[in-house]
Amino acid sequence: MTAGVVTAEWTKIRSVRSTMWSLLAFVVVAIGFSALVATVISNTWNDPGSHPNHVELVTEPRAEQDRGRVGYQLDVIVISSEYSTGAIRSSLLAVPRRIPMLAAKAGVFALLDLVVSAVTVFAVFFITTAILRSHVSITLSQPGITRACIGGILYLTVLGLFALAIGGLIRHTAGAIASVIALVLVIPPLIGLIPGTIANHIHGYLPTVAGQLIGQSSQQPADVLSPWQGFAVFCAWTAVLLVACGYLLIRRDA
Amino acid sequence: MAEPPGLIEARELTKRFGDKVAVDNLSFNVEPGRVTGFLGPNGAGKSTTMRLITGLDRPDGGTATIGGLAYSQLSKPLTRVGALLEARSLHPGRSARNHLLFLAQTQDIPAKRVDEVLDLVGLREVAGKRAGGFSLGMTQRLGIAAAMLGDPPVLLLDEPGNGLDPEGIRWVRNFMRQLAGEGRTVLVSSHLMSEMAVTADHLVVIGLGKLIADCSTEEFIERSSERSVLVRTPDSARLRELITGAGGAVQGNDGTDGMIVTGLPAPRIGELAASASLVLHELTPRLPSLEEAFMELTAGSVEFGKTESGTVGSGTGGTP
Q: Which chain A residues are within 8 Å of B78, Cβ to Cβ?
A: 93-94
Average pLDDT, stretch B15-37? 95
Q: How many CA atoms lie within 13 A of B146 on its CB side?
A: 34
Question: What confidence score (pLDDT) does residue B227 get?
Answer: 77
Question: What confidence score (pLDDT) does residue A229 get?
Answer: 94
Instruction: Work out the mean pLDDT of chain B and round it to a whole number.
Output: 88
- More confident site: B39 or A42: B39
Sort strands B35-39 and B202-207 into parallel, antiparallel or unpaired: parallel
Question: What confidence score (pLDDT) does residue B76 get?
Answer: 94
Question: What confidence score (pLDDT) does residue B316 get?
Answer: 42
Domains and CATH numbers, chain B: 8-222 (3.40.50.300), 228-286 (3.30.70)
A13 interface with B at CB cutoff 8 Å? no
Encoded amino acid at B284, one letter: T
Which residues of B sit within 8 Å Cβ distance of A?
Answer: 51, 54-58, 71-72, 74, 77-78, 81, 83, 85-86, 88-95, 98-99, 101-103, 105-108, 146
Asked if B155 contacts B145 with a C-beta cutoff of 8 angstroms, the reply is no
Phi and psi at A230, nearest 5°, equal: -60, -40
Question: What confidence score (pLDDT) does residue A139 get?
Answer: 81
Question: What confidence score (pLDDT) does residue B236 get?
Answer: 83
Question: What confidence score (pLDDT) does residue B318 get?
Answer: 40
What are the residue ranges spanned by the domains of chain A?
3-251
Question: In this predicted model, what pLDDT tens digit does every residue of B91-146 receive, in sequence order?
Answer: 999 999 999 999 999 999 999 999 999 999 999 999 999 999 999 999 999 999 99
CA angle, residues A67, A68, A72, in degrees to nearest 5? 135
**Inter-chain contact B106–A5, Cβ cutoff 8 Å?**
yes
**Inter-chain contact A15–B85, Cβ cutoff 8 Å?**
no
d(CA A74, CA B95): 20
Question: In this predicted model, what pLDDT tens digit does every residue of A16-37 receive, in sequence order?
Answer: 887 788 788 878 888 888 888 8
Q: Which chain A residues are within 8 Å of B103, Cβ to Cβ?
A: 8, 90, 94
d(CA B44, CA B303): 7
Question: In this predicted model, what pLDDT tens digit does every residue of A122-179 receive, in sequence order?
Answer: 888 888 888 888 877 778 887 778 888 888 889 888 988 998 999 899 888 888 888 8
Average pLDDT, stretch A232-241? 96
Question: What confidence score (pLDDT) does residue B303 get?
Answer: 58
Question: In this predicted model, what pLDDT tens digit does every residue of A42-84 receive, in sequence order?
Answer: 887 777 665 555 555 554 444 444 445 555 666 677 778 888 8
Residue A17 is nearest to which of B93, B102, B103, comparing CB atoms?
B93
Question: In this predicted model, what pLDDT tens digit does every residue of B260-293 receive, in sequence order?
Answer: 888 888 999 999 999 999 999 889 888 888 888 8
In the stretch 215-244 of chain A, residues with CB closer than 8 A to chain B read none
In this structure, how many other beta carbons lie within 10 angstroms of the beta carbon of residue B191? 22
Residue A4 is nearest to which of B55, B99, B105, comparing CB atoms?
B105
Average pLDDT, stretch B206-225? 88
Confidence of residue B86 (pLDDT cuts 50, 70, 90): confident
**Inter-chain contact A86–B89, Cβ cutoff 8 Å?**
yes
> Nearest CA to B15 among B43, B48, B53, B56?
B48
Q: Nearest chain A Cα to B15, which residue?
A: A253
**Inter-chain contact B71–A96, Cβ cutoff 8 Å?**
yes
Q: What are the CA-CA distances from residue B140 to residues A114, B135, B291 (Å)?
A: 38, 8, 25
A253 interface with B at CB cutoff 8 Å? yes
Residue B5 C-alpha from the chain's centroid: 22
Average pLDDT, stretch B167-193? 93
Q: What is the DSSP string of B37-80?
A: EEE--TTSSHHHHHHHHTTSS--SEEEEEETTB-GGG-SSGGGT
Question: Quick one: DSSP state of residue A62?
Answer: T
**Inter-chain contact A89–B56, Cβ cutoff 8 Å?**
yes
Question: What confidence score (pLDDT) does residue B98 get?
Answer: 97
Question: In this predicted model, what pLDDT tens digit does every residue of A185-201 receive, in sequence order?
Answer: 888 889 888 888 888 88
Q: Which chain A residues are within 8 Å of B128, Cβ to Cβ?
A: none
Taking the CA of residue B193 and the nearest CA in chain A, the distance in Å comes to 27
Highest averaged pLDDT of the listed ranges A138-147, B71-80, B240-249: B71-80
A51 interface with B at CB cutoff 8 Å? no
Q: Is pLDDT of B314 > 50?
A: no
d(CA B155, CA B6): 9
Q: What are the CA-CA distances from residue B95 to residues A84, B102, B133 (Å)?
A: 17, 11, 10
Encoded amino acid at B314, one letter: S
Q: Which chain B residues are within 8 Å of A16, Cβ to Cβ?
A: 91, 93-94
Question: What confidence score (pLDDT) does residue B309 get?
Answer: 39
Phi and psi at B162, nearest 5°, equal: -55, 125
Residue A49 C-alpha from the chain's centroid: 32
d(CA A74, CA A163): 9
Q: Which chain A residues are within 8 Å of B91, Cβ to Cβ?
A: 12, 16, 81-82, 85, 87
**Inter-chain contact B93–A16, Cβ cutoff 8 Å?**
yes
